[in-house]
Structure 1
Amino acid sequence: MKNIKLTLLACLLLPIITFAQGMRQMEPKKNIPLDSIRLSDPFIMADSKTNMYYMTGTGGLLWKSKDMKLWDGPYRVTQTDPNSWMGPRPMIWAAELHEYKGKYYYFATFTNRDVKIDTVKGNVIERRACHILVSDKPDGPYVPMQDPTYLPANKPTLDATFWIENGKPYMLYCYEWLQNWNGTVEKIALKPDLGGSIGEGKVLFRASDSPWSREKDENGKDRPNKVTDGPYVFQTKTGKLGIIWTSWVYNVYTQGVAYSASGKLDGPWVQEKNPITPPDFGHGMLFTDLNGKQLMCIHSHKSVNGKYIRIPHLFEVDLSGDKLVVGKEYKP
C-alpha cells in the first residue's frame, strides 16, 4: 500500500508543482545552461527555417537556443480562449511543438481545475484534455483553431503527440488512469488542417500490457502499474514503428518501448521486456539536431528535500536497426 500511495501522490502532484514553478519564472533570462532549467516533460523542436532549437514542456512556457548549450527564456507563447472549456487560467502540461504544412502546432494537455467531471475511488477528477493550438511562427503566439474540443469532455486525457500515417494526421494520447484505473495509449484521426478530430479514439495498448512496470495491489501483491505517460511515436531506418512511453517500477519513474507487429499504428503492439533508459528518467521524445545527430530529450526525476525536481537531459540514440538503442548522455 505504501508504494501505491507514493505512485499516486507523485502522479497527482508532479505536474502541479512543476506548473507552479513555471508560473514563478516569467521574467526571461539569457544564456541558461540546460541542466539549470527545471522542466517536466521537455520537448525540443529543431527548426531548420530559423536555425534554432525551441524547447517546451509542462508549464506553458518556451525556451530558445542556437546550440542547445545555453537557452533564453522562459517565454509565454499560448493565448487560450478564457471563455472556452479551459477557463481563464488553464494548467498546461506536456506541450509539444510540431511543424506541419508550413505552420506550427502546439499539442498540449489543458486542465480547468474549477470543473470536476468525476470522482473515482476518492479521487476528484478535473476537466482535463488534449488540445491543439496553431501559429505561423515557432515561438508563437499559439492560438485556438476552429473546433472547441478534440476529445470527450467526460474523459480525462493527457500527453498528446503527433504522427502521420499514409499521409493522414493522428493525435496519440493517454486516457488517464485516475478514471479507468488502467491507463491506455490511444489514437484519434485529425482533420487535414489539424483543426479538429475525426471519429472516436481507439485503444492501442493498456498499462497492464507492460511486463516491466510494477506496483502493489490492495493485498500487497505485485501487478503491472496502472499509469501510462508520455507516449512518443518513432520509426527506425528499417521501417520498424515504435512508441516510447513511461510508467513506474514501484516508486521509480521509468521509460519503456513497444513495437508494432504490423508496422502500423493499429498494431498489435508488443512491449519490450525491459526499460530502455536509466532509473528515474522518463517522458522522453526523439529528434534530429540541426547537424543530423539523433537524440532523445528526457527529464530526470528525483526528490530533493521533499520536492520533486525534474531536469531536461539529452541522450544519444541509434535508430539504424530494427530497434531503438539508447546510448550515453550527450552534452552539446
Structure 2
Amino acid sequence: MLGGGHLPGALAQQPVPARRQHLPLDSIRLSDPFILADARTHTYYMTGTGGLLWQSKDLKSWDGPTPVAQPDPTSWMGPRPMIWAAEIHSYKGKYYYYATFTNKALTADTVQGKPLERRASHVLRSDQPAGPYRPFGDATYLPANKLTLDGTFWVDKDGKPYLVYCHEWLQNQNGTVERIALKPDLSGTQGPAQVLFRASDSPWSRENPRTGSARPNKVTDGPWVFRTKTGRLGMLWTSWIYDVYTQGVAYSASGTLAGPWQQEPAPITPPNYGHGMLFRTFEGKDLLVLHSHLDVKGNYHRVPRLFEADLSGDKLVIGKPYGIKN
C-alpha cells in the first residue's frame, strides 16, 4: 500500500502538460484537489499533487495547468522535488502554499531495513493567488528525520495559527494526524507537536495483514479542519478499507484542535473517494472537493469531483454530486 494514499513517485511529477482553456472538471487528472475561492479576484484556483494550478470563474470551465511552486533548489528539497497535496490559504493579505515536498536523493530514516526518502510539509508564499510561490521563512518547518505530509492550515479559538499534518505511517507504522503552532507570520513553527489521533483510532479503516485477522489500517491522509454553523469543530481525513480509498471525519469534543478527537463510525462519501476539503462558492453554497480513485491495471486514475455539503447542523452531511455527471 502506498504511503498517504498518493500516486507512486514515478507518476507524481510528470512533465507539465500544455496549457489549455475551457477544460471541464472531469477531464482533469489530479490527486488531492484543493480549491481556493478567492474573493479578491472572484476566481476559483485549484491545485493539488504535482504543483500545478488551474483557474475557473464558474467551477465548470477551467484554464491550466501552470506551474506555481518555486522552491529553493539549493535547499533540502533539491532541484526537482516531488510535490504532493498542495493547498493555498489566504492570510493577512498574503497567499500561502502548503505542500509536501519529497527529495528522493536524501534518506531521512531507515525502518525495518528500508531507507525512507526525505519528505516534509513546508510553506511557500506569494502576493498573488496564482503565484509564483517562493520560500520566505525557515529552512524547515518540521524535523529533518520525521516524514510528514499533507500539511494544512487552521487558526484555532485562541487566535493562533497552526500547521496540521500527517506523520507518515511508513515511518511510525501507525500514521498520525498532528498539530504544531506556527509563528505569527507563518514563517516557521514553534513549540512541540501534539498527536491529535492515530490511524488505528478509526472504527472503519481495515487492512489485511500477512498473518492473522484484519486490523485497522495504518494510513492517515489529507486532514482538513472545518467548523459547522453550530460551532462544532470537525476534521476530514482519509484512509483505506482494504483496497478501497475512503473518506472519514472526526469531531473535537473540546471544540479546539487539542481535542480529544472522536471518530465517526462510518465513512461519509461513497467508496473510492478521498482526500477531501470544503469550500464555499461565491453564491454561498458549501461544497466538498475530493478525488475519485480508480485502479486501472495498477495505475491510479484520479479525477476531481464535487459534492454538495451541508454544514447547518452539528455534523457535516454530504449530499449529491454537484455540477458534473456522476
Q: What TM-score does the superposition give when structure 2 sets the normalisation length?
A: 0.96
Please state how far the C-alpha of 1:140 moved relative to its aligned partner: 0.3
Distance 1:146 1:190 in 2: 11
1:22-70 per-position Cα deviation (integer Å, ceiling 9, x unaligned): x333321111110000000000000010010000000000000111101
1:265-286 per-position Cα deviation (integer Å, ceiling 9, x unaligned): 1000000000001100000000
Determine which of 88, 102, 111 is the counterpart of 2:93: 102
Counting only pairs closer than 5 Å after superposition, residues 57-96 of structure 1 correspond to structure 2 as 57-96=48-87
Please state how far the C-alpha of 1:176 moved relative to its aligned partner: 0.3
Distance 2:6 2:318 in 1: 29
Preserved contact between residue 15 and residue 93 of structure 1 (Cα < 8 Å):
no
Preserved contact between residue 208 and residue 215 of structure 2 (Cα < 8 Å):
yes
Unaligned runs of 5+ in 1: 1-7
Preserved contact between residue 18 and residue 58 of structure 1 (Cα < 8 Å):
no
1:293 correspondence with 2:261: no
1:186 correspondence with 2:178: yes
Structure 1 residue runs of 4 or more that deviate by more than 6 Å after TM superposition: none
Q: Could you say which residue in structure 1 is the equivalent of 2:233?
A: 241
Determine which of 13, 19, 40 is the counterpart of 2:12: 19
Counting only pairs closer than 5 Å after superposition, residues 150-229 of structure 1 correspond to structure 2 as 150-165=141-156, 166-229=158-221
What's the secondary structure of 1:78's corresponding residue?
coil
Preserved contact between residue 19 and residue 91 of structure 1 (Cα < 8 Å):
yes
1:216-237 per-position Cα deviation (integer Å, ceiling 9, x unaligned): 2232311110000000000001
Give the direction of change, closer, same or farther, for the CA distance of 1:9–1:286 in structure 2 (3 Å limit).
closer
Higher mean C-alpha displacement, 303-312 vs 36-45: 303-312
What's the secondary structure of 1:24's corresponding residue?
coil
Distance 1:140 1:273 in 2: 40
What's the secondary structure of 1:44's corresponding residue?
strand
Distance 1:306 1:146 in 2: 39
One-letter amino acid matched to 2:263:
Q
Distance 1:12 1:312 in 2: 15
Percent of paired sites with the same residue: 66
Give the direction of change, closer, same or farther, for the CA distance of 1:155–1:48 in structure 2 (3 Å limit).
same
Distance 1:226 1:262 in 2: 26
1:146 correspondence with 2:137: yes
Distance 2:3 2:116 in 1: 16
Please state how far the C-alpha of 1:186 moved relative to its aligned partner: 0.1
For these two proteins, the number of residue pairs brought into alignment is 323
Distance 1:271 1:296 in 2: 19
Q: Could you say which residue in structure 1 is the equivalent of 2:309?
A: 317
Across the aligned residues of Structure 1 and Structure 2, the Cα RMSD in angstroms comes to 1.3
Please state how far the C-alpha of 1:74 moved relative to its aligned partner: 0.5
Q: Which has the higher helix share?
A: 1
Preserved contact between residue 26 and residue 76 of structure 1 (Cα < 8 Å):
no
1:298-321 per-position Cα deviation (integer Å, ceiling 9, x unaligned): 000001233210000000000000
1:134 correspondence with 2:125: yes
Give the direction of change, closer, same or farther, for the CA distance of 1:175–1:71 in structure 2 (3 Å limit).
same
Please state how far the C-alpha of 1:124 moved relative to its aligned partner: 2.4
Distance 1:11 1:138 in 2: 26
Unaligned runs of 5+ in 2: none
Please state how far the C-alpha of 1:12 moved relative to its aligned partner: 7.2
Determine which of 287, 299, 308 is the counterpart of 2:300: 308
Please state how far the C-alpha of 1:18 moved relative to its aligned partner: 4.1
Q: Could you say which residue in structure 2 is the equivalent of 1:4?
A: none
Higher mean C-alpha displacement, 64-73 vs 120-129: 120-129
1:208-267 per-position Cα deviation (integer Å, ceiling 9, x unaligned): 100000012232311110000000000001110000100000000001110001111100
Q: Could you say which residue in structure 2 is the equivalent of 1:5?
A: none
What's the secondary structure of 1:219's corresponding residue?
coil
Higher mean C-alpha displacement, 317-326 vs 111-120: 111-120
Distance 2:17 2:141 in 1: 29
Determine which of 226, 247, 254 is the counterpart of 1:255: 247
